[in-house]
Amino acid sequence: MKRNRRISAVAVLALAALVTGTGAGFAATTTPVATPSATPVATHALDTAPATATAPTRSFQGALPAPTGPYAAGEDVIHLTDESRPDPWVPSSGPRQLTVTMVYPAVPGTGTPAPYMSLAEAAGVIQRRKLPASYGVTAQNLSGVTTHAFDGARPQRGKHPLVVLSPAYEDPRMTLTSLATDLASHGYVVALVGHTYEDSGETLANGQTPPCAICDDPKTLDFDSVAASRALDVSFVIDRLTHGNTAWPLAHLIDKHEIGMAGHSLGGAAAAATMIADPRVRAGVNMDGSFHPAPMPGQINRPLLMLGTADYHSVGGHDTSWGQTWAALGGYKKWLTVAGADHFSFADLDLLLEQAGFPTPPLSPERGVAITREYVAAFFDQTLKGIDSPLLDGPSPNNPEVLFQS
């Protein structure tokens, strides 16, 4: 079963969320359909919500949790163009253009608060998902979510491992900001890659914010091809950050010999696809995404962490690509699931949904963020920095929700 076709056809901030439980009339349900892969698809009550709401209008004020490390998180947004490659989804637009948010270890107390996203990106999210006005989410307050990242912050000295982050299909890059800022606070440079035309909109260098070109019919989309295209995006970003005249003035902060990648949903599939295609990526994390396709034996002999929901990604669960991948992996590997989590527990989404008044899963959004941060950082500490982490050795009484599958 291709879970991405259910979980990825939804995007930021409920702006069509797969929320477990019911409430407020906006919870989503999943219905199996008779396709060759028995792929479930999402049915969103948001899509059929009445035009008028009886509930009083809310005032949304979103805030991500503060980073937990000793450093502050600096932020720069850069724009890259791959002149050697036409855009795979809209060839008429010319060469592939990417927007990337760089988050880095910074000196506390420097810089100015960074916005969560541009106004145009926020407007694209709201427009695509038809978010009822009664929830009080506007382009202004969505773009102004507190991120704890700072534009123009003074960088910490030294070199730091690079971690590339790839979001879910339909979700813009900013939905992994809480993870990015926490990794930066623990001494990582992070590149949040926006995959143009694959989500509700990424603001490009020319100021335009094109909408998704491949989101209208996910049931017919070849996700293997999308994951492979993302691998090309990521390799290009790594090239530009580590060779010659780089596109980022602070590229000297990057230790180009220590590179990892993590992704959520389809971004997790892209992490595996990138590891297969690019040996520079020394360690990878798949957060609750099907593998597209599952790696073959011998293709990934470097460390990989599989972190997913207990309901879907436990051993013998619905997503058979996880068992196939586990059997094929040749290097250090961990397979963890989180009880009570839903798909958005591994990104910013459940937390922002809760703050907007939407129902959330049994696992509190705060715990989802904390668990994701803690285990992803521990994995990269061990595989990129050589710092042993007992957290990865087995179950922890401090994290009873985390289940070791193998």
The secondary structure of residue 199, as a DSSP letter, is B
Peptide bond before residue 293 is cis, with ω within 30 degrees of 0? yes
Residues 405 and 311: beta-carbon distance below 8 Å: no
Distance CA 288, CA 401 (A): 15
pLDDT in tens, 216-248: 888 899 999 999 999 999 999 999 999 977 789
**H helix and E strand count, the chain:** 10, 13
Distance CA 265, CA 285 (A): 11
Residues 380 and 161: beta-carbon distance below 8 Å: yes
pLDDT over threshold 60, residue 369: yes
**pTM metric for this prediction:** 0.88
Q: What is residue 345's three-state secondary structure? A: helix
Distance CA 23, CA 46 (A): 12
- The amino acid sitting at 391 is L
- Please give the angle made by the CA atoms of 24, 29 and 33, to the nearest 5 degrees: 160
pLDDT over threshold 50, residue 60: yes
Distance CA 169, CA 223 (A): 9
The secondary structure of residue 273, as a DSSP letter, is H
Residue 248: name the closest of 391, 14, 380, 74 by CA. Answer: 74
* pLDDT at site 202: 97
pLDDT over threshold 80, residue 274: yes
pLDDT in tens, 8-51: 333 334 443 333 222 222 223 222 222 233 333 332 323 333 33
Place of tokens 């803690």: 374
pLDDT over threshold 90, residue 186: yes
